Amino acid sequence: MNEITRQEFLADPDDAITNVSDNPSFESILNARLSRRSILKGSFGFAATTFLGGGLAACAGTSYEPSLKLNFNAVAKSLADAVVVPSGYTVTVLYRLGDPINAATPAYMNDGADTSASFASRAGDHHDGIHYFGLSSDGKYSAGANDRGLLCMNHEAITPAYLHPNGATIVNSVRTVSDEVIKEMHAHGVSVIEVAKSGSAVTYKQNSGFNRRVTTFTDMTLSGPAAGTAAMITAYSPDGSKTRGTINNCAHGATPWGTYLTCEENWAGYFRRITATDNPNRTAKELASFSRYGVAGNGRELWATATASDSTDTSFSRWNAMKLGTSADGRDDFRNVANTYGWVVEIDPFSPTSTPKKRTAMGRFAHEGAWLGPVAAGKPLVWYMGCDSRMEYIYKYVSTANWDPADVNKGMTAGDKYLNDGKLYVAKFNADGTGQWLELKFGSNNIMAAYAPYAFADQADVLINTRLAADAAGATKMDRPEWGAVNPANGEVYMTLTNNNSSNRTISNLDAANPRFYNDPKGTAQTAQRGNPNGHIVRWAEAGGNVAATSFAWDVFLFGARSTADGTNVNVSNLTAANDFSSPDGLWFAPSTGLLWIETDDGAYTDVTNCMLLAAVAGKVGDGAKKTITSTDGATSKAVDTFVGKALGETNLRRFLVGPKECEITGLAETPDGKALFVNIQHPGEDTAPTFSNPSSFGSHWPDGGNARPRSATIVITKDDGGQVGGSLS
Ligand code: FEO
Ligand code: CA
Ligand code: CA
Ligand code: CA
């Protein structure tokens, strides 16, 4: 496409509204401006476009003269072991670690004695990404259903200490109690639970036939260009067509046809690969791939060290990614198993017996999530994705097939249509406030056999080694991309860059989109935390409002900071005590109102406050100004020009919730009417090693209180007057 300048994008404050033109020329942008003006006269800005969850029409077209108003008083920062919300709101604990999902499973004892087998029908640990699918009376997906729905949520990881009577049993770095490992393998994955809402009361239905656990044991089909290739062959699947389970499911996505996307993030760490032994047995390309993804070490939970009672049972040996067999292709070991993880996985929650599919066309990396862009009939679908690691990239996937609303409720068949064939791009952020989407296609953008660090063979190789392809293409290294969110009012995309440290983000490699290097002084000793410890949120507008565009304009929506930090170069967004935050992670636009929710997963500001949830009224790309930020490491200083969104002030940004001790606030979903907000409280008390003989020493007792062991849990927040949560349209 023709590149357009940032000035052309932003000359008219109205021009960033999404249209569905597939011709992103300057003329088409002008035409779009004109058509938008006429559309706005009808107070409806998104005529051809719908979003998941429905309820959009009321807020469309309002983002530039917002009628959205926050409806609560900011809560103070807190170190209490409690969920704090504003007055006028009520918190209900819905679904905790260990809660049963069928009638036959007893209540969770929460003392480590619950059996490993029972965990196949209990809530997993570390609740993370979450999505609400409305459920119709005939058991189908119904986007607008408020009273009955399916909640899909990820169980990213575990706090092993609290799963067993006295923590994990480990002798000389070996898991000697294999039953404990089976319990841990069940505690990962995904839950599907049916929920019901009656007035402001929200409950989950323990005996629903829709309830399901997907775990590390669940059979999964590999699909798309990398499926069935030699790199996918394992002892579990000699033809490379399938793999077993999913792991480290962080954030998520959804499809317009009514399926859930669960995203595999820090999967690499679960595999055992002792490099001194294994490296001499591997090819140069294999070593380059392992190195780029971090497949090395003992395995974070040491699962590969457990012993199965039956020698044909590969439940534990499957976590050993070393070359142990004698076959030429890997059908007698798990040397290739790591290639079967790191994908976006589609699950049909409306079909509890369906086999999930890993969608290889969407690339393999540390997938945080996959966020659906504007949906329009006859146009491609787009998902925005982040690779959450320091100095990693932002991606998008654009389907080849154009959206047909008749595909709603077609489940995995629709997935085969839209998610197996498309273009994968990586983002490059330019210093002038524009950016490019670089296609990750074999034979283009330096992605070829002649690329010295990694000789690409074909498109399947590109998809399995997406990070290396993005390196070759010249993408911009970001400060840990976490969640994305798409503004229902104008199609602009927001993405959190949670933080970075001083060994990766140095004063010399600052750039316009990652422009700060500073010290966050932590604790009474005011320990230096240099780099970008508080993070920021970047946003962009696609050229012409076209989801398939290959250029965009960007700015920084918000910079995290202590309100007391230097207001020129650190607290650039002028945060106050009512809205200061650090390490933004979860991000989500409420479909009913367009309110933007921001969650934190922080370790920097935690001397002052537990992690939190904030509510914002977002503006638009270019509503602020160009700004020069000057950073110093004490010896040298550097000035970097960037683009900063208009300061929100306390009117448009307020702290809504603070969580219990040592937790992360993550996962957001709402009923379509915006009257019930689901939030996940992940791993309260995880930082304090427990002394089991002294339960009062636990790092948290939330949510059960007393001397109870802490539990990750989903909470529901409702407004006491029955209104919309956080904000409403006036
Ligand atoms: Fe699982 Fe990137 O947080
Ligand atoms: Ca996250
Ligand atoms: Ca995080
Ligand atoms: Ca976490």
Over residues 700-727, the pLDDT tens digits come to 999 999 999 999 999 999 999 999 999 9
Of all residues in the chain, the percent with pLDDT exceeding 70 is 91
**Residue 54: band (very low, low, confident or very high) from pLDDT cuts 50, 70, 90:** very low
Please give the average per-residue pLDDT across 315-329, as a whole number.
Answer: 98
Please give the DSSP secondary-structure letter assigned to residue 402. E
Residues 354-365 as b/e (b if ≥16 CB within 10 A, e otherwise) read bebbbbbbbbbb
Terminal CA-CA length for the chain: 40
Task: Please report the pLDDT score of residue 50 as a whole number.
Answer: 38
Average pLDDT, the chain: 92
Cβ–ligand 1 distance for 555 under 6 Å, the answer no
CA of 341 to the centre of ligand 2 (A): 18
Which ligand has an atom closest to residue 498 CA? 3
CA of 497 to the centre of ligand 1 (A): 11
Nearest to 488 by CA among 11, 10, 18: 18
Please tell me the least confidently modeled range out of 19-28, 78-87, 668-677: 19-28
Residue 232 clears pLDDT 70, i.e. is over it: yes
- Which atom of ligand 1 is closest in space to residue 250's alpha carbon? 1
- Which atom of ligand 1 is closest in space to residue 156's alpha carbon? 1
Task: Please report the pLDDT score of residue 5 as a whole number.
Answer: 53
- Which atom of ligand 1 is closest in space to residue 366's alpha carbon? 2
Task: Please report the pLDDT score of residue 363 as a whole number.
Answer: 99
Task: Please report the pLDDT score of residue 668 as a whole number.
Answer: 97
Please tell me the least confidently modeled range out of 51-55, 386-390, 617-621: 51-55
CA distance 622 to 398: 25
**Residue 60: band (very low, low, confident or very high) from pLDDT cuts 50, 70, 90:** very low
Q: Whose CA is nearest to atom 1 of ligand 1?
A: 250
Residue 219 clears pLDDT 80, i.e. is over it: yes
* Alpha-carbon distances, residue 193 vs 210, 247, 570 (angstroms): 7, 19, 43
Which pair of tokens denotes residue 4?
A: 């357009």
Task: Please report the pLDDT score of residue 66 as a whole number.
Answer: 57
Cβ–ligand 1 distance for 265 under 6 Å, the answer yes
**Residue 730: band (very low, low, confident or very high) from pLDDT cuts 50, 70, 90:** confident
Task: Please report the pLDDT score of residue 7 as a whole number.
Answer: 54
pLDDT tens sequence across 528-546: 999 999 999 999 999 999 9
Cβ–ligand 1 distance for 599 under 6 Å, the answer no
CA of 482 to the centre of ligand 3 (A): 7
CA distance 262 to 256: 15
Please give the average per-residue pLDDT across 333-352, as a whole number.
Answer: 98
Cβ–ligand 1 distance for 497 under 6 Å, the answer no
**Residue 359: band (very low, low, confident or very high) from pLDDT cuts 50, 70, 90:** very high
Of all residues in the chain, the percent with pLDDT exceeding 90 is 90
Cβ–ligand 1 distance for 492 under 6 Å, the answer no
* Sign of the dihedral defined by the CA atoms of residues 591, 365, 418, 195, in that order: negative
CA distance 622 to 634: 32
Residues 574-603 as b/e (b if ≥16 CB within 10 A, e otherwise) read bbeebbbbbbbbbbbbbbbbbbbbbbbbbe
Cβ–ligand 1 distance for 388 under 6 Å, the answer yes
Cβ–ligand 1 distance for 368 under 6 Å, the answer yes
* Alpha-carbon distances, residue 471 vs 367, 514, 716 (angstroms): 16, 18, 42
Task: Please report the pLDDT score of residue 37 as a whole number.
Answer: 34
Task: Please report the pLDDT score of residue 200 as a whole number.
Answer: 87
Please give the average per-residue pLDDT across 599-615, as a whole number.
Answer: 98
CB 412, CB 385: distance < 8 Å: no
Query: Which residues have beta carbons under 5 A from ligand 4 (an ion)?
Result: 664
Residue 110 clears pLDDT 60, i.e. is over it: yes
Contacts for 583 with CB less than 8 Å, ≥ 6 apart = 498, 499, 533, 534, 535, 560, 600, 601, 602, 603, 604, 605, 611
Please give the average per-residue pLDDT across 268-278, as a whole number.
Answer: 98
Please give the average per-residue pLDDT across 380-399, as a whole number.
Answer: 98
Which pair of tokens denotes residue 17?
A: 């509204």
CA of 128 to the centre of ligand 4 (A): 8
Task: Please report the pLDDT score of residue 199 as a whole number.
Answer: 87
Residue 300 clears pLDDT 70, i.e. is over it: yes
Residue 231 clears pLDDT 70, i.e. is over it: yes
Task: Please report the pLDDT score of residue 382 as a whole number.
Answer: 98
8 or 458: which carries more pLDDT confidence?
Answer: 458
Which pair of tokens denotes residue 112?
A: 């480590």
CA distance 104 to 118: 10
CA distance 719 to 177: 47
Contacts for 394 with CB less than 8 Å, ≥ 6 apart = 384, 385, 386, 387, 426, 427, 475, 476, 478, 481, 484, 495
- Which atom of ligand 1 is closest in space to residue 666's alpha carbon? 3
Please give the average per-residue pLDDT across 603-619, as a whole number.
Answer: 98
Cβ–ligand 1 distance for 482 under 6 Å, the answer yes
